[in-house]
Amino acid sequence: MNIETISAIALGIGLSASTGFRVFIPLLVAGIASHFGLLPLGESFGWMGSVPALISFGVAAVVEVLAYYIPFVDNLLDSIATPLSVGAGTLLMTSVFPAENEWIRWIMGFVVGGGAAATIQSGSAFTRLVSTGFTAGTGNPVVSTGEGVAATGFSVMSLFTPILVAVLLIVLMILLLRFAYRRMVKKRKKELPTFSNVKTE
């Protein structure tokens, strides 16, 4: 595997994982980069750099960003953001994955890109729930701003330093998965009956 292939895979991870913060910002960044020749996409994905696609991505990105600043609507959006981010992550990973076989590209796009997007999005949703619980939603705009900056920053940086961004995001995903695993184990331990709670006949 040469450096170009590694860079392409890293680029796909960076863009797809960024959809976990915001769905349409990475799509818009990728579309703009493709439109100006900075990002070579697969033959069947050239439409992403077209003017109609850029307008659609741009409008959707603005609406998405603004909607996350509306109290309680942001939590509602998280419930539909997961499947959208998985779809967007799959699309972005597939569009840059260096494989001639279409089936392999889409499978890898879904597994790697969709998985990365779902992991990051789950972490974002959990952060918002914690913020809502502790601040009654007043701290959510700070979380939303951070997510918007992260989505934009990681997407743009992926175009120029894809390997570095991919490493950072992979580390973040590992930390999120470890945290989720520990919470699951802790919850199971609480649900297990203890000897003191078992009544003897």
Q: Which pair of structure tokens corresponds to residue 22?
A: 């915001």
Q: What pLDDT, on a 0 to 100 scale, did the predictor assign at position 193?
A: 61
Q: What pLDDT, on a 0 to 100 scale, did the predictor assign at position 129?
A: 82
Mean pLDDT along residues 167-180: 89
Q: What pLDDT, on a 0 to 100 scale, did the predictor assign at position 138?
A: 82
Residues 6+ apart with CB under 8 A from 152: 22, 25, 29
Looking up tokens 């959208």 gives 84
Mean pLDDT of the chain: 88
Task: Render pLDDT for 154-171 as a digit per residue (tens, 0 to 9).
Answer: 999 999 999 999 999 999
DSSP 97: -
Nearest Cα residue to 157 out of 1, 25, 58? 25
pLDDT band at 130 (very low <50, low <70, confident <90, very high): confident
Mean pLDDT along residues 134-138: 79
Domain boundaries, the chain: 3-197
Q: What is the DSSP string of 78-131?
A: HHHHHHHHHHHHHHHHHHH---S-HHHHHHHIIIIIIHHHHHHHHHHHHHHHHH
Q: What pLDDT, on a 0 to 100 scale, did the predictor assign at position 194?
A: 53
CB 26 within 8 A of CB 65: no
Looking up tokens 């170009």 gives 4
Task: Render pLDDT for 69-79 as a digit per residue (tens, 0 to 9).
Answer: 987 787 788 88
Q: What pLDDT, on a 0 to 100 scale, did the predictor assign at position 195?
A: 46
